[in-house]
Each structure stands twice: as C-alpha cells, then as structure tokens.
Amino acid sequence: MNSLHDSRRKKIEKFIVLNARTKQIQLIKFSEIIQSNFMPALLAMVKDGVRKSLEFLRGEFDTEEEFESYVQSNINSDLEIYPKSLWYSLFTQSYFFFENDLNELCKKLQQLKECNISLSDFNGKGISRARKYLTKVMEVDFASVETEWNKVTILQKIRNIISHRAGNLNNSNHEQVIRDYFKDRDEEMIDENGYILINQPIVVDAADTFREFWLGMNLELFYD
C-alpha cells in the first residue's frame, strides 16, 4: 500500500472506527448514568413537582380522598411520560449519530478519492441513500456487516415511529416487523395502546448495533 493510500486509511480509521464508535460507547455510558443515578432522582422530582403544582386545587375537591386520588392519577401519568420521553430522546440520538456518521463517510470518501459524484446526486434520503452511494460509487461491499445492517434498518423503522407517530405502532406499515423485533424481550416493549416502550437496555442494544457495524466494516474495501 503506497503512502497516499496509507494516509487515507489512517484518516478513515480515525473518522469511522474512533469517532463514530466512540460516540456510541459514550452514549451507552451516559445511559448507564441516567439509569443508575438520574432516573431515581427524576422520578422523585416528578412526584414532588406534581404534588406541589396541584396544591392550589385542593379546595376544589369535596374530600381529601378525592384530591389525593386526583394527585396520584397525575403522578402516575407523569411517571410514564417523562422516563419514556427521556429514553425516546436517547434512542433517537443514537440513531442520529449513526446516520450522520454514515453521511459524513460518504462525503469524506468523495473528498479523499476526488470524486465528482456526491451523495446529494442520489435520490432518497437517510441511511438507504448513503448505502446506495457507498456501494454504487465507492464500491464498498457491505457483506461483512450485513447482519448488523439488517438490524439497523429495523432500528430505523422504530426511530421513524417515534419521530413521526409519537411512538404509536398501531396500523403502521412496519408494525409486524417491529413487534417481531421486540417479541423475545424479557419485558413487554409495546403497551396496550400500541406505544413503543423504550428503556435503557433497548438504547444500549441499539448503540451496540451501530458500534458493531463500524467495527465490522472492512476499511480495506474502501481502496482500489
């Protein structure tokens, strides 16, 4: 391998293996901190905050029991909403890292190979367009990461349900695929109303999938 190719290899490895992989590792560590330290504090703050915010309504109820029932109902609702929103956010952030790094890889390779065909010349969007560019223009073979890629496409569907349907899976085009993905989990990951329930293990599993993709990609395939 000549010095030019060697220089390119080092740049690609630094960008992909170090940068992209490290983002997912950091996100996993962050999720562990949230689960062990922040989540208990968040739940306590929700309980205390709801009670204090509703105190002004106490006089509107005929009995103390009615007021307490109303407060508890609001607490139970918020105890579902806030943790779910937090894990939704972390899951979509992990996916965003992956999609953004894949797009940046396309741009980096175009620059290094001095190619006049760019990612924006292709129809479509997201990871599907990036893969099309990498395979057709850069002749990157995805064979070494096909297993990871198949899982990534399911994570993409989950991300889209969260982003565009607030997590509601009912009657979506990918309902069965996503239900099959979650069916072997120890916990129920879809509630009775069809909403996806993301938790810390799901976030870790997603980030691990993205990390394994970058580890499995054979960087030598980027070169002549």
DSSP, collapsed to helix, strand or coil, labels residue 115 as coil
- On the question of pLDDT at 36 being above 70, the answer is yes
Whole-number average pLDDT of the chain: 89
Question: Span 155-160, mean pLDDT?
Answer: 97
* Sign of the dihedral through C-alpha 103, 107, 112, 113: positive
Q: What is the pTM of this model?
A: 0.86
- Local confidence band at 4 (pLDDT 50, 70, 90 cut-offs): low
Question: Span 46-68, mean pLDDT?
Answer: 94
Query: Do the Cβ atoms of 212 and 186 come closer than 8 Å?
Result: no
* Residue 224 confidence (pLDDT): 45
Query: What CA–CA distance (Å, rounded) separates 135 from 62?
Result: 69
- On the question of pLDDT at 155 being above 50, the answer is yes
* Nearest 10 degrees: Cα torsion 181, 182, 184, 188: -170
Residues 6+ apart with CB under 8 A from 48: none
Return the percentage of the chain with pLDDT > 90, whole number: 73
Angle at 190 between CA 189 and CA 195, to 5 degrees: 130
Query: What CA–CA distance (Å, rounded) separates 179 from 26?
Result: 28
- Partner residues linked to 190 by β-bridges: 196
